[in-house]
Structure 1
Amino acid sequence: MATNLDLIRRTYEGTSEENGRNLLAVLSPDIEWTEAEGFPYAGTYVGVDALMQGVFKRLGSEWTGYHADVHSFIADGERVAAFGVYSGTYKATGKSMTAPFAHLYELRDGKIIRMRQYVDTVLVARALT
């Protein structure tokens, strides 16, 4: 049986398509996903459809080469943290960014029930204007 750390790793370490499939497979139907205040998609999204429409569809349509490159993971029971760097080019301005992030996941019975994003939003915002 896969550990919580294994489940989260699989959402980052493959191709974009693999990561997306792996994420969908481990999201609780009533996921609570919080994007940091000051981030372009700030707020809490409840449910898979709200998350896909409010965050991932927009990332795919508004950015070129958007990527979350994780360099470290920490697992503590039902919580897993991922630390890394976002990168990408905002289509509307043509400006690129790189910004450090942390994602804190809470899992129950092999499903992500909560995620909270921490990110240097100033570095992201510079690409938007």
Structure 2
Amino acid sequence: MDNMPCGCTYIGKTAVFEKYFRHLFSNFHEFHAMPEEFLDAGEVIVVLGQYQIVTKKSRETVVSPFAHVYTIKNEKIIRFRQYTDTVKIQNAVRS
């Protein structure tokens, strides 16, 4: 997501794990994605849950619901989209 810390488009496993996650997690003391429900629509899987985050700066705890949408082809994730309250997360990182 563009408005997540370090959010933009990343292509490939290396870019996601070595660039996105490394930069994202540098903002947080803890970052947990807690899945609550999985919806199977064939090639599309939707995961509903909540982020439970503790920021590094203020140690503020943030809880934000999310929806993750995965597109699967040949048993591989070929597209991932996420939806969450990015303003809430950005405000916690800045405080």
Q: Could you say whether these structures have the same fold, taking a TM-score greater than 0.5 normalized by the shorter chain as the test?
A: yes
- Runs of 4+ with >4 A deviation: none
CA distance in 1, matches of 2:30, 2:83: 20
Shift of 1:93: 3.2
CA distance in 1, matches of 2:30, 2:4: 18
Match of 2:84 in 1: 119
- DSSP-derived class of the 1:44 partner: coil
Answering whether residue 10 of structure 2 is matched by residue 45 of structure 1, we say: yes
CA distance in 2, matches of 1:57, 1:121: 18
Say which structure is richer in helix: 1
Answering whether residue 44 of structure 2 is matched by residue 79 of structure 1, we say: yes
Pairwise CA RMSD of aligned residues? 1.4
Match of 2:67 in 1: 102
1:54 pairs with 19, 40, 45, which one? 19
Match of 1:90 in 2: 55
CA distance in 1, matches of 2:59, 2:88: 15
- Structure 2 gaps, min length 5: none
- DSSP-derived class of the 1:86 partner: strand
CA distance in 1, matches of 2:30, 2:88: 16
- DSSP-derived class of the 1:65 partner: strand
What's the TM-score once normalised by structure 1's chain length? Answer: 0.67
- DSSP-derived class of the 1:40 partner: coil
Conserved in 2, the CA contact under 8 Å of 1:86 and 1:101? yes
Point out the more displaced range, 112-121 or 57-66.
57-66
Task: Write out per-residue CA displacement over residues 75-98 of structure 1, whole angstroms, 9 at most, x where no aligned residue.
Answer: 111100001100111113322211
- Count of aligned pairs: 94
- DSSP-derived class of the 1:45 partner: coil
Point out the more displaced range, 60-69 or 103-112.
60-69
